[in-house]
Amino acid sequence: MTKTTLGDSDFTKLVKQANLTLSNDEKAKIHTQLDEALEAVKVLAELDTGSVSQISSASGLTNVLRDDVVTPSFTQEEALQNAKLTHNGYFVVPAIFEAQDN
């Protein structure tokens, strides 16, 4: 039997967190593939990276974003003035999710 990098309970937790619906065959196949990928990545831990400088950006750019500047905004009434429907100071929009029974 091959030693797994990711235990069964951890794999089950991962599948649940990813909200995946998998058959037993799919679970076995993906678990094996994930173990192989994790084993391949483990090889990187054997590399001597002591002489490699640390980087935080591959591009070398620092902050490329503008500074935030606080400016006056709309009042609630101004923001809602062209809305088709409002309720208690909020926009009313059509629902986009369907109810699901778990």
Prediction pTM value: 0.46
The pLDDT, as a whole number, for residue 1 is 40
| Residue 33 domain-assigned (yes or no) | yes
24 domain residue, yes or no: yes
Token output for 8: 């069964």
Bridge partners of 90, per DSSP, are 87
Amino acid at the residue 90:
Y
Q: At residue 37, does pLDDT exceed 80?
A: yes
> What pLDDT score does 25 carry?
96
Residue 16 lies in a domain: yes
Q: Which domain holds residue 34?
A: 8-46
Query: Can you read off the two tokens belonging to residue 26?
Result: 């799919």
Q: Is 78 helix (H, G, I), strand (E, B) or coil?
A: helix
For the segment 44-53, the average pLDDT, to the nearest whole number, is 87
The DSSP secondary-structure symbol of 39 reads H
- Kindly state the average pLDDT of the residues 51-75: 85
C-beta separation of 83 from 76 below 8 A: no
Q: If you average pLDDT over residues 49-73, what whole number do you get?
A: 84
H helix runs in 5-72, sequence order: 8-17, 24-42
| Domains contained in the chain, number | 1
pLDDT for residue 3: 59
